[in-house]
Amino acid sequence: MTKIVFILIFFVSTLGQLLCKAQALTVIDASKSYTALVGGQVWAVEDAQHRLTIAQVTQLPDTAWTVPSEVQTNFGVSNSAFWVRFKYYSPTPGRLYFCLLNQLVDTAEFYIVREGQTVFRVQNIPEKAEFNLPNSPFLLPLLSDTVVCYVRATARIPVYIPMHLLHEKNLNAYFLWTYASDFLFFGAILIMMLYNVFLAVTTRNLVYFYYISYSFFVLATVIYIRGFLSPLLGDYSQLIEDNSAYIVGPGSIFLCLFAMEFLAMKNIYKLGYQILLVLAVLSFANMVLFSFIGFNITLEISQILTLTINFLVAWCALVVYKRQKQKDALLFVIAFSAYLVLYSSLNLVFLNVINAYFISIYFLHIGSTIELVLFSIALGNQINAYRKESIMAQAENLRLVQEQNVVLEQKVSERTHELNQTLETVAKQRDNIISSINYALRIQNAIIPKEEELLKYLDCFVFFRPRDIVSGDFYWFAEKDHCQILAVADCTGHGVSGAFMTMIGNNILNQIVHNQEIHAPSEILNFMCPLLSKTLLHSKGRVKDGMDISIITLYGQPKATEKICYSGAMNPLYIVQNKEFREIKADKMPIEVLTETNRYYTQHELVPDGNTMLYLLSDGYQDQFSGPQNTKFMAKRLKQLLFSIAHEDINVQKGQLKTTFEEWKGTKKQTDDVLLVGLRV
């Protein structure tokens, strides 16, 4: 009895082992979109040395094979090659397709073995695909009985080999089901990127640049993982795949920069800011080290850094929210919490910690979409906050401007009242000054002889044009003992100051000629300097004012001159006689206050011939500025003018001088006092 029990136990256990070791047959159900190869349907063998061939693999005993996973074929991160075996049968007539979903597998070889012979072999599964799309299925040979298939795969990232079988009538539905989520994801990311490009251009805020850059690299990473590089870039895709660390790595760097800028962490949470900055530098260093330490190590470091950065950004956003109560920071916390859960799950799938359900391949899609949508909402909220702040600031500015306007209006009213009072005072003072100047003019006019008085004794004209109301130029005349004395003087300055000197000069000439009975021009000039010095003796400091003067004495009865004597202090005498122009130069010694001995001036004599024109003048006419280049009239031009009109009547000459001066001056301001006396002897 005991022996029978042991025999039964042994038989049952052996039968159980055989049953457990029997590989399940995959029956393709044409009513479903696809049939996944899962559980006991797939057996696997690890080839650590990459030496096994298809012939050796087909000869391996069943005991060498293992079931890699209850759900999907996931071997984790490994440098080994893996062989998987499955059996299928289709009760529904029609063509069958095989699809390997993971595009990140480096090499994939497909074999069908029938009765110990390889009847179908594909060295590279993606190249056999009928469509240039990722995860594209390829057509299997038509076989009526049970088929045994072998797949050999290697990968630099976790060796994850999800496989599907499908009937030809489900091909369109399979494509729609496979790519719909990808294109929806790509479209959503592109729309958000374009929207934020518009915001970046309009606001010129650096945070949008970081967000756009982060979105771009998230999109590039998903395109790379889902295998869309080859359809998009063709022959260039392999170059980018070989340098994939430069696709995955920058996303973490721009994520750090975006979070630091958006949350203003430098001011609110400085410690978090510094840690994120260090992690960004480490992510950059990991990309640089890609060429030296290999892909697998770089990938593992990148996964650790990405998880750390996402967790830390969520933590920093939570700290900022607690400190500032910012709704945007709360959106960051929610976004990164969702992303962390999904991204962590995807990494755990890659590391073969949890089972790889089909939905896991879309964890990155879902997590990235949730994250970027919430980021966009946060950025939109920030714009709204800026807009509200701007509106409030404008309202506050308007209120301040209105208040300031009231204050300014009051001040303007006060200042206007003060200004009006000041203007009234200035107007009164101006009226007083003008009245004083006009009174000085009456005095000056009283001491300067009228032209009509000169005409009683001389055949002459006077062209007199003061620059201001009163003049610093003056002329003086006296008739004594059968001689007539005429002086033309140009005092230093003009206006009121010059007018005072004209009175002093007029008084000195009266003293010399009338009181001291001196008639010779040189003697008159010799006495003028001492008298001027005596008059200004009590002035403080040295007085530099004086006058330039020319004096002629006509000997004989009025209008019957027998002899002419001339002396000049700086002012010359112009003579037109016998159709010739002549100039008698003056002594270069002005009449001024002297500290040395008296000066002695030269006296010149000439005899008239009955048609001689004499001109005594100041320098005002020739010094008048005008013309295109704002130049002086000049003495040369004046001499030519006088010579050209000397033969004309006295009144005609005066009119011509006046017209020429007005035309030359035009709209320019008069430069100096103008005085010119012409007489015919």
Q: Looking at the domain assignment, is residue 86 inside a domain?
A: yes
| Whether 617 contacts 657, CB under 8 Å | no
Which of 19-23, 396-400, 511-515, 566-570 has the weakest average pLDDT?
19-23
Domain co-membership, 222 together with 109: no
For residue 124, the domain's CATH number is 2.60.40.2380
Domain with 113 in it: 23-176
pLDDT for the residue 601: 95
Contacts of 424 (CB under 8 A, 6+ apart): none
Domain co-membership, 630 together with 486: yes
Q: How confident is the model at residue 203 (pLDDT cuts 50, 70, 90)?
A: confident
Domain co-membership, 670 together with 526: yes
Domain co-membership, 607 together with 480: yes
Domain co-membership, 301 together with 381: yes
Between 15 and 147, name the one with better pLDDT: 147
Q: How many domains does the chain have?
A: 3
Contacts of 112 (CB under 8 A, 6+ apart): 118, 119, 120, 121, 140, 141, 143, 147, 148, 149, 150
Which of 309-318, 472-481, 602-611 has the weakest average pLDDT?
309-318
Which of 99-103, 111-115, 275-279, 476-480 has the weakest average pLDDT?
99-103
3-class secondary structure, 551: strand
Which of 40-49, 230-239, 395-404, 626-635 has the weakest average pLDDT?
230-239
Domain boundary among 345, 365, 391: 391
| Whether 245 contacts 298, CB under 8 Å | yes
Domain boundary among 345, 366, 391: 391
pLDDT for the residue 575: 96
Give me the chain's average pLDDT, please. Answer: 80
Cβ-based neighbour number of residue 400 at 10 Å:
10
Domain co-membership, 518 together with 622: yes
Which of 206-220, 606-620, 658-672 has the weakest average pLDDT?
206-220
Q: pTM, whole model, 2 decimals?
A: 0.45
As to burial, measured by CB atoms within 10 angstroms (0-12 exposed, 13-18 middle, 19+ buried), residue 513 is buried
pLDDT for the residue 133: 67
- The stretch 220-233 carries a mean pLDDT of 70
pLDDT for the residue 15: 40
Which of 51-65, 112-126, 511-525 has the weakest average pLDDT?
112-126
DSSP 57: H
- Does residue 297 register a pLDDT over 50? yes
Pairwise CA distance, residues 208 & 192, whole Å: 11
pLDDT for the residue 403: 83
For residue 572, the domain's CATH number is 3.60.40.10
pLDDT for the residue 350: 57
pLDDT for the residue 655: 96
- Does residue 342 register a pLDDT over 70? no
- Does residue 20 register a pLDDT over 90? no
Q: Looking at the domain assignment, is residue 493 inside a domain?
A: yes
- Does residue 51 register a pLDDT over 70? yes
| Whether 347 contacts 303, CB under 8 Å | yes
Between 32 and 565, name the one with better pLDDT: 565
Q: Looking at the domain assignment, is residue 433 inside a domain?
A: no
Q: Looking at the domain assignment, is residue 398 inside a domain?
A: no
3-class secondary structure, 223: helix
Domain boundary among 342, 375, 391: 391
- Does residue 465 register a pLDDT over 90? yes
pLDDT in tens, 346-366: 666 555 555 554 445 566 666
| Whether 331 contacts 378, CB under 8 Å | yes
- Does residue 11 register a pLDDT over 60? no
Domain co-membership, 509 together with 606: yes
Q: Looking at the domain assignment, is residue 434 inside a domain?
A: no
Q: How confident is the model at residue 371 (pLDDT cuts 50, 70, 90)?
A: low
Q: Looking at the domain assignment, is residue 628 inside a domain?
A: yes
Domain co-membership, 242 together with 107: no
Domain co-membership, 362 together with 510: no
Domain co-membership, 558 together with 676: yes
pLDDT for the residue 9: 37
pLDDT for the residue 340: 61
- The stretch 453-475 carries a mean pLDDT of 93
Q: Looking at the domain assignment, is residue 242 inside a domain?
A: yes
Percentage of the residues of the chain whose pLDDT score is greater than 70: 77
pLDDT for the residue 596: 67
- The stretch 641-648 carries a mean pLDDT of 95
pLDDT for the residue 5: 36
pLDDT for the residue 62: 86
Q: Looking at the domain assignment, is residue 486 inside a domain?
A: yes
* DSSP symbols for 490-543: EESS-HHHHHHHHHHHHHHHHIIIIIS----HHHHHHHHHHHHHHHTTTSSS--
pLDDT for the residue 6: 37
Backbone angles phi, psi at 586, to 5 degrees: -85, 165
Domain co-membership, 239 together with 362: yes
- Does residue 21 register a pLDDT over 60? no
Domain co-membership, 121 together with 260: no
